[in-house]
Amino acid sequence: MALIASIGLFAMLMLGVTYFGYRQYAKTGRMYEQLGAPVMATTAVVLEPVTPQANAVVRIIQQIGEKLPISPQDAGTTRRELIMAGFRSQQAVSVFYGTKIVMTLVFFVFALLLRDSFSNPMMGVVLFGFFGLTGFMLPGIYLKRLIKNRQEALRLSLPDALDLMVVSVEAGLGLDQAIQHVSKELETTHKEISEELTLLTLEMRAGKRRSEALKNLAERTGEPEIQKLMAILVQNDRFGTSMAESLRTHSDFMRVRRRQEAEERAGKVGVKLVFPIFFFILPSMMVVAAGPGLLQVFKNLFPMMKNFKG
């Protein structure tokens, strides 16, 4: 019976994985093949990461968020953080605050279910406060994590983008055409930086000055390395210095810094492994190495001590 149940669960899991893979990859790939190549490489950026109209649940969360009295300063700060995380929808702020309220209510329900397990009423009040604060702060913590992951992806992909930009500039392309070419080439391997460079190209096509568009990119990402690069590009554009040499120097600097950061993390491994080794590995080694000897000692020593007392 257990074997039949295991086979059934395995078959259900395989069917689920197959269905998911077909819906996400095979069917989508066939649709793209039928549509053909994109007319413009920059059209991929119009797909918003957040689509509140996709289902009724998100629409309800959005309506809850719109009812909250949010100050313009807080809304601006939240919108900037959401853009840094990759969410550029106009409704992203409302969805975010609605999610905070919904999570708070959900955690309140959990606290209500756990209230009967405490005899002290004061513990129930503390439990309500703790769960409510946790539910309210959890979306913000998750958003910070998304921002950190996206900035790390941008930082790791920046040297490759700079190398391609150097090659493009030395081949005779202007900076605008080089940025557009790099955004197209990195669309598959480094999606985040390709998306940001595509937005930069669209802003310059819309009529913004190059320096203003570069500053918007630095502010939009919030990554210090990109902010340094944008400052270098603005200075080069202002004073007319060699663009390729500046890009190559900054790329070499970033690769050296990445290697130094890797060496620093490798140097910290020994210190970080002290506590896992002491609490988890050393006890098991002591049990394996000294356990049989201790058993023999206890087996022979205790009878000898009893005979000695007698």
Nearest to 170 by CA among 232, 247, 235: 247
Domain 151-263 sits in CATH at 1.20.81
How do residues 260-304 score in pLDDT, each as one tens digit? 888 888 888 888 888 888 888 888 888 888 888 888 877 877 777
Tell whether the model's pLDDT for residue 15 goes beyond 80.
Answer: no
Beta-carbon contacts of 243 under 8 Å, excluding residues fewer than 6 positions away, are 169, 175, 233, 236
Tell whether the model's pLDDT for residue 34 goes beyond 60.
Answer: no
Write the DSSP string, the chain: -HHHHHHHHHHHHHHHHHHHHIIIIIHHHHHHHHH-S-S-GGGGGGS-S--GGGSHHHHHHHHHHHTS---HHHHHHHHHHHHHHT---TTHHHHHHHHHHHHHHHHHHHHHHHGGG-S-HHHHHHHHHHHHHHHHHHHHHHHHHHHHHHHHHHHHHHHHHHHHHHHHHHTT--HHHHHHHHHHHTTTT-HHHHHHHHHHHHHHHTT--HHHHHHHHHHHH--HHHHHHHHHHHHHHHHT--HHHHHHHHHHHHHHHHHHHHHHHHHHHHHHTHHHIIIIIHHHHHHHHHHHHHHHHHHHHHHHHHHHH-
Per-residue tokens: 171? 């081949």
3-state secondary structure of 291: helix
How do residues 205-225 score in pLDDT, each as one tens digit? 888 888 888 888 888 888 888
Q: Give the type of residue at 286.
A: M
Sketch the domain layout of the chain as residue ranges: 42-149, 151-263
Reported confidence tier of residue 39, pLDDT bands at 50, 70, 90: very low
How do residues 97-152 score in pLDDT, each as one tens digit? 888 888 888 888 887 777 766 667 777 777 778 888 888 888 889 999 999 999 88
What pLDDT does 309 receive?
60
Phi-psi region of 84 (alpha: psi -120 to 50; beta: other; left: phi over 0): alpha
What pLDDT does 47 receive?
39
The residue-averaged pLDDT of 41-47 equals 39
Mean pLDDT of all residues belonging to the chain: 78
- Distance CA(52)–CA(80), nearest Å, equals 18
How do residues 149-186 score in pLDDT, each as one tens digit? 998 888 888 888 888 888 888 888 888 888 888 888 88
